[in-house]
Amino acid sequence: MIDVRGVTGSVFRPLRLDRPSQISLVQGGALSTAGLLAQGFLRFATAWLVAHIAGSAALGAVATAIATATLLALLWPTTTGSAASKYIARARGAGNSAELLATARHLALRTVQTSLLLAVASIPVWVLIDHGTVAGALCVAAMTIAYSGYSFTRGVQFGAGQVPRATAWDLISVTVGLGALAAVLVAGVRGPALVLPLALGYAVYALAGWPHGVRGRPDGAHRRELDAFVALGAAGSIASTGFLQLSQITARLTSGLHDAGQYAAALNLATPASMLAASLSLVLFPSLAEAWGRGDHAGFRAQTDRATRTLAAVMVGIFGCLILCSRFLVAVIWGQKYADAATVLPVLVLAVLATNLAVASVNALTTTSREGMRITTGASLLGMAVGVVVWLVLGDRLGILGVALGYLAGTVVIAAIPITIVWRRDHHRWAGLFLRVLVALLAVGALSLGGRAADLPLWLEPLLAAVFLTGWVLASRRDLPRIPGLPSPLGRRRSS
């Protein structure tokens, strides 16, 4: 059990990097999921309210502004969060408090320097993309700074083992953001200024989790290691996470604001479920780093295997249902004016699923060595190049569907490379696992295409999803005891 009173008492105190919360990996995963779901809800609420109050074109403008700020922050600041998560946890595992504090200070300084520089750069970038005003560009700049700080301080808190504290501030900052969103909508604010409530929520989180009072300076070798990690990670993030944001910007540039709004509506349905994988990554990454730091290679391998099986068992079920219910969900959540979103939603769901299945393998590679960082970065750059080629070929002819297909092609490449390398390097028994995933996706495709060809009523789509989910649970029953937190009535057994 988590000591709620202890967590509540420490939320408003300065962050301590040397006092991790005593919680399990399962509890940490649940808490981080709750925090990311809260942050995702704030983004979704922003998109939903803009879509229904201001229309598809306004949603396209706001989604493009968020994508621009996020993409710029990925150029360096957001990866400092990953570096903090890894190196602070590693220093804790080694019991080196001096290195811990110096690492936090160095990464904090780099975050401030780069976020301010990128905020300035965001002004002409936004004017160029949207043909917008300087006032709108300043809103994008504010979002860039706030998101950069949020990403860094989230990594700091997870690296310090302060998961309950991080989740508490997720909930607080989202409450602030939602209140601000309601206020600006009632006041009649429109356009890029609607990103300011998001920026305010991120800024509150960043200020609360900032590592104040850290001191020391890493030696030259460690500084170079930290900066090299962030540089490689930033390149990989631009080509993976940034690839998603770039697809939204590409939809705006190739198809206009209205279709960009349709694409944004589909993205807002495809991406929230991936927060489970993101939250697992936040907990898994420092856990893997700590295990590697103390030389527990068997535990490291077991965590990678368990996380991959968990993601496959959960994500294929969730995303398969999303594909089968795509028209139903778009009609209920967005309305008939966003019917075009139902066409691209299944493609985007497959792309996000591929990314999620590779989370544990990417973490395993980036934890062990700089070579692993180079591999994942190279895979991301190759995948993005594949996606861009597809955009150039199909973008003008197929519009936002061509953009979605390019994103799918790129993400499959990005995910396949780290999975294959970790599978072979660590001798995992994943053949049966990924065969079941393939069969499940073929079944989803057959059910989805058959339902659309027969022009089945929308209300039957949830029934098709229930049929698929039942079959998937039965097919995955051997992996279910491996999911953290579930009982193991079957005992220990080898997986196929």
pLDDT of residue 489: 31
Q: Would you say 469 and 321 are in contact if contact means Cβ atoms under 8 Å apart?
A: yes
Q: Where are the domains of the chain?
A: 15-231, 240-480
The closest alpha carbon to 205, from 252, 164, 236, 168, belongs to 168
pLDDT of residue 285: 57
Buried b (16+ CB within 10 A) or exposed e, 192-230: bbbbbbbbbbbbbbbebbbbeebeeebeeebeebbbebb
- Nearest residue to 209 via CA among 449, 362, 14: 14
CB atoms within 10 A of CB 26: 13
Specify the pTM: 0.80
- DSSP H or E run through 5: helix 4-11
Query: What is the token pair recorded at 293?
Result: 């730091």
Angle at the Cα of 23 from the Cα atoms of 481 and 352, rounded to 5 degrees: 55
pLDDT of 495 reads: 37
Question: What's the confidence (pLDDT) of residue 273?
Answer: 64
- 10-residue mean pLDDT series, the chain (496 residues): 50 73 70 82 90 87 93 92 87 79 92 96 91 88 97 91 90 93 87 92 94 84 90 81 90 90 92 66 61 65 80 87 92 90 93 88 78 84 94 90 95 93 88 92 88 80 90 78 39 36
Q: How far apart are CA 96 and CA 163, in angstroms?
A: 21
Q: How far apart are CA 291 and CA 495, in angstroms?
A: 23
Query: Which of 229, 45, 47 shows the shortest CA–CA distance to 155?
Result: 229
Distance CA(422)–CA(117), nearest Å, equals: 37
The pLDDT value recorded for residue 407 is 94
Q: Are 23 and 163 in contact (CB under 8 A)?
A: yes
pLDDT of residue 496: 35
